[in-house]
Amino acid sequence: MRYMDEFRDPKAAKAVLAKIAEVVVQIGATAEKPLHIMEICGGHTHAIFRYGLDKLTHPGIEFIHGPGCPVCVLPRARVDDCIAIAERPEVIFTTFGDAMRVPGTEKSLIQAKAEGADIRMVYSPLDALELARRNPDREVVFFGLGFETTAPSTALSIQQAAREGLGNFSVFCNHITVPPPLRALLSDPDMLLDGFVGPGHVSMVIGIHPYDFIAHDFGKPIVVAGFEPLDLLQSVLMVVEQIRDGRTEVENQYARVVPEHGNPVSLAAIDDVYEMRPSFEWRGLGEIDESGLRIRAAYRGYDAEAKFGIGYGAASRVVEEPGGCACGQVMTGRLKPTACPHFGKGCTPEMPLGALMVSSEGACAAYYQYGGARAAAE
- Higher-confidence residue of 22 and 366: namely 22
> Which range among 71-80, 186-195, 299-308 has the greatest average pLDDT?
299-308
What one-character DSSP code corresponds to residue 343? Answer: B
Q: Once rounded to an integer, what is the mean pLDDT over residues 47-54? A: 93
Q: Once rounded to an integer, what is the mean pLDDT over residues 86-109? A: 93
What's the CA gap between 17 and 13, in Å, rounded? 6
CA 205 to chain CA centroid, nearest Å: 14
Phi, psi (deg, nearest 5) at residue 191: -85, 120
Q: Once rounded to an integer, what is the mean pLDDT over residues 39-44? A: 94
What's the CA gap between 129 and 170, in Å, rounded? 9
Answer for the pair 101, 362: CB distance below 8 angstroms, yes or no: no
pLDDT of 69 > 60? The answer is yes
What's the CA gap between 188 and 205, in Å, rounded? 27
Residues with Cβ within 8 Å of residue 30, at least 6 apart in sequence: 59, 60
Domain with CATH 3.40.50.11740 in the chain: 76-177+261-313
Q: Once rounded to an integer, what is the mean pLDDT over residues 141-155? A: 97
**Which residue intervals of 87-217 are DSSP H helices?**
109-114, 125-134, 151-164, 179-186, 200-206, 212-216
Q: In the chain, at which residue ranges do the beta strands (DSSP E only) sit?
A: 35-41, 61-68, 91-95, 119-121, 139-146, 169-175, 195-198, 222-224, 250-252, 274-276, 279-282, 286-289, 293-295
Share of the chain above pLDDT 90, in %: 71
| 313-343 residue pLDDT tens | 454 556 666 677 788 788 777 888 888 888 8
Residue 372 has a pLDDT of 56
pLDDT of 373 > 50? The answer is no
Residue 279 has a pLDDT of 93
Residues with Cβ within 8 Å of residue 159, at least 6 apart in sequence: 269, 272, 273
Answer for the pair 70, 64: CB distance below 8 angstroms, yes or no: no
Residue 350 has a pLDDT of 76
Encoded amino acid at 200, one letter: G
Confidence grade of residue 359 (pLDDT, cut at 50, 70, 90): confident
What's the CA gap between 211 and 224, in Å, rounded? 9
Residue 377 has a pLDDT of 47
Share of the chain above pLDDT 70, in %: 94
pLDDT of 219 > 90? The answer is yes
Residue 314 has a pLDDT of 52
Residue 3 has a pLDDT of 67
What's the CA gap between 354 and 116, in Å, rounded? 23
Residue 177 has a pLDDT of 97
Q: Once rounded to an integer, what is the mean pLDDT over residues 80-104? A: 94
User: Which of 74-88, 148-162, 195-209 has the weakest average pLDDT?
Assistant: 74-88
The correct answer on CATH 3.40.50.11740 for the domain covering 76-177+261-313 is: yes
* CB atoms inside a 10 Å sphere around CB 8: 13
Average pLDDT over the chain reads: 91
pLDDT of 150 > 60? The answer is yes
pLDDT of 62 > 60? The answer is yes
What's the CA gap between 354 and 327, in Å, rounded? 6
Question: CA–CA distance from 269 to each of 83, 138, 157 (Å)?
Answer: 28, 27, 10
What's the CA gap between 180 and 183, in Å, rounded? 5
For the stretch 180-185, contacts whose Cβ atoms lie closer than 8 Å and that sit 24 or more positions apart, written own/partner, are: 180/288, 180/289, 180/290, 180/291, 181/67, 181/73, 181/282, 181/285, 181/288, 181/291, 182/40, 182/66, 182/211, 182/214, 183/213, 184/285, 184/288, 185/38, 185/66, 185/67, 185/285, 185/332, 185/333
Answer for the pair 39, 67: CB distance below 8 angstroms, yes or no: no
| 152-202 residue pLDDT tens | 999 999 999 999 999 999 999 999 999 999 999 999 888 889 999 999 999
Residue 71 has a pLDDT of 85
User: Which of 1-5, 54-58, 253-257, 351-355 has the weakest average pLDDT?
Assistant: 1-5
What one-character DSSP code corresponds to residue 207? Answer: -
What's the CA gap between 1 and 92, in Å, rounded? 45
